[in-house]
């Protein structure tokens, strides 16, 4: 009964979104608006300001209209294209966003941010090699670009390059020591490389910087469980569940930790919660059957294994043949 099949890089996607929102905030705060020439028409300035405000408020369709009108007044100005690309990324029109960021790069080839944003859009469509090329270009223009190092590490994760990803996260932290996501994702990389003390140390730092993220506690719990420190793992799993009661993956790991400590009644309680939320979860049914058998509840064990086998569990079928005559 392994703990660790639930510690997936789905957490990476969450982190990518966090980084995207951070970049969105930077753009909305006016980094690119500083580029305006006083010769620009006030109408275009007003349209851009209006579009940025609407995007910040989440009214993306209205923002797009303003940016489109601003472009119609001056098709050589990079700012409407860039901000429209940000909004299109938010709307998951990644190809459209890539086109806009490419136009910005043509107009402002010395700016690092358009390469970063285009890399992110490519990351979302699984063009990881293309994303890495763009992140590298952004870094060549802005060598201390911590977010670019971080997201390049994420893209390398998707290519299975764990060691290289860890190096990128380390460089991101050199330039931005409080970049919480870099600690967390480096911890995932170290976990995948079986460096459990290193993973736990990184998760510790991520939790210090942001104790509100349930994934951080869940992942540290998995690393502690892999180190056979089940008691502290349970504390982490319980904290993660308190932060996100709907997280069934962590609840599964919590139940397994109870199993290893022979706390079968507690394990049954967790498996029952999982089955209540997900009646088709044959893994939880099969494992609850194991816990019930340890408590000498033969009828309950066989009932769970029968249900699990009907839902496709080969393990449960084997248990039925072996223990339920």
* 243 in a structural domain: no
Q: 46-78 pLDDT, tens per residue? A: 888 888 888 888 899 999 999 999 998 888 989
Give me the pLDDT at residue 224, please. 95
The domain total for the chain is 1
Residue 97 predicted with pLDDT over 70: yes
Residue 42's pLDDT band, with cuts at 50, 70 and 90, is low
* 295 in a structural domain: yes
* 310 in a structural domain: yes
Please state, for a pLDDT cut of 70, what percent of the chain lies above it: 87
Dihedral over alpha carbons 40, 41, 44, 48 (to 10 degrees): 50
Instruction: Tell which residue, 198, 200, 195, has the closest CA to residue 218.
Output: 200
In terms of pTM, does the model score above 0.75? yes
* 304 in a structural domain: yes
Residue 8's pLDDT band, with cuts at 50, 70 and 90, is very low
Q: 139-187 pLDDT, tens per residue? A: 999 999 999 999 999 999 899 999 999 999 999 999 999 999 999 999 9
Residue 6 predicted with pLDDT over 60: no
For residues 80 and 216, give the distance between their C-alpha atoms in angstroms, rounded to a whole number.
Answer: 37
* 41 in a structural domain: no
The residue range of the domain holding 281 is 262-325
Please tell me the chain's helix, strand, coil percentages from 3-state DSSP, rounded to the nearest 5.
Answer: 80, 0, 20
* 273 in a structural domain: yes
Residue that wins the pLDDT comparison between 81 and 40: 81
Mean pLDDT of 27-41: 40
* 318 in a structural domain: yes
Give me the pLDDT at residue 34, please. 39
Residue 15 predicted with pLDDT over 50: no
The radius of gyration computed from the CA coordinates of the chain, to the nearest angstrom, equals 25
* 307 in a structural domain: yes
Q: 248-307 pLDDT, tens per residue? A: 999 999 999 999 999 999 999 999 999 999 999 999 999 999 999 999 999 999 999 999
CATH of residue 271: 1.25.40.10
């Amino acid at each position: 009964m392994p703990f660790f099949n639930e510690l997936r890089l789905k957490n990476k996607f969450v982190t990518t979104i966090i980084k995207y929102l951070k970049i969105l905030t930077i753009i909305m705060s006016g980094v690119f608006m500083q580029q305006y020439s006083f010769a620009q028409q006030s109408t275009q300035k007003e349209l851009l300001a209006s579009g940025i405000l609407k995007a910040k408020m989440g009214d993306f369709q209205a923002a797009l209209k303003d940016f489109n009108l601003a472009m119609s007044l001056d098709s050589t100005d990079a700012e409407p294209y860039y901000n429209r690309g940000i909004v299109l990324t938010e709307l998951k029109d990644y190809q459209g966003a890539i086109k806009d960021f490419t136009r910005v790069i043509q107009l402002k080839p010395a700016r690092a941010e358009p390469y970063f944003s285009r890399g992110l859009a490519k990351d979302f469509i699984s063009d990881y090699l293309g994303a890495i090329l763009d992140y590298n270009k952004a870094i060549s223009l802005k060598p201390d670009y911590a977010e670019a190092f971080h997201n390049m590490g994420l893209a390398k994760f998707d290519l299975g390059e764990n060691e290289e990803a860890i190096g990128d996260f380390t460089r991101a932290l050199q330039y931005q020591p409080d970049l919480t996501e870099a600690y967390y994702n480096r911890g995932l990389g170290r976990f995948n490389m079986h460096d459990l003390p290193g993973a736990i140390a990184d998760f510790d730092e991520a939790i210090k910087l942001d104790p509100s993220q349930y994934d951080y506690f869940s992942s540290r719990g998995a690393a502690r469980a892999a180190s056979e420190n089940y008691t502290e793992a349970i504390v982490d799993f319980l904290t993660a569940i308190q932060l996100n009661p709907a997280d069934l993956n962590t609840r599964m790991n919590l139940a397994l930790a109870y199993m290893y400590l022979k706390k079968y009644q507690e394990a049954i309680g967790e498996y029952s919660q999982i089955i209540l939320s997900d009646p088709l979860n044959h893994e939880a049914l099969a494992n609850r059957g194991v816990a019930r058998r340890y408590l000498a509840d033969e009828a309950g064990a066989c009932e769970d294994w029968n249900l699990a086998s009907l839902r496709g569990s080969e393990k449960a079928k084997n248990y039925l043949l072996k223990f339920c005559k």
